Amino acid sequence: MISEQTIERTLARLERAGDDYETEIRDFAESQPDLMDYLTNEDVEAFTERERELLVFAALVIFQSVDDERAGLTEVTGDQIAAAEERNYEIIGAAKGNFRDRLTPFFEQSEEEELLAFVEDLLLAEDGEDEISREAREPFFVTLKTVIDTLT
């Protein structure tokens, strides 16, 4: 399981990156081209510009956190992404209750609770700047859960 300390260390490093942030994104895209295509394809056009930026940032945090603890990640394929995304939409589609309740099955079935908590915190942030719209929460979560699944 990826530790909370690794996630926090990765977040702090990326927040300090400044001009190097674009290099970090480029390195991620070169290392995981299918995953970057998935994060930037036309399906994410329903997200606002800010939501798309947060999606890529969160995926970068996940990627670097996993890479820090499990060096030598293999390249994720489009087939792996499609299978994981389908499975995640089935799980969230079968879940009942409010949004937070519908996330419970993911926490119960995953060894990556800290990464899921990071995504949940991002989605339910109280400050207006980072807020994800209610309509975007489900696809945003499923997209990042798919990133987690394919990298771990």
Mean pLDDT by 10 residues, the chain (152 residues): 95 88 94 95 79 94 95 92 97 92 94 95 70 88 97 96
CB 2 within 8 A of CB 114: yes
Res 146: pLDDT: 97
Domain of 121, in residue numbers: 4-151
pLDDT score recorded for residue 71 = 78
Residue 104: predicted pLDDT: 94
Residue 34 has a pLDDT of 97
Q: Could you tell me if 91 and 37 are in contact, meaning their C-beta atoms sit under 8 angstroms apart?
A: no
CA distance 34 to 80: 10
How many structural domains is the chain composed of? Answer: 1
Distance of CA 78 to the CA centre of its chain: 16
Position 87 scores a pLDDT of 97
Q: Tell me what pLDDT residue 44 has.
A: 67
pLDDT value of residue 130: 53
Locate 20 and state its tokens.
Answer: 């190097």
Distance CA 96, CA 93 (A): 8
Residue among 37, 123, 100, 24 nearest 67 (CA): 24
State the CB neighbour count (10 A cutoff) for residue 121: 11
* C-beta of residue 14 within 8 angstroms of C-beta of residue 24: yes
> Six-digit token pair at 36?
């970057």
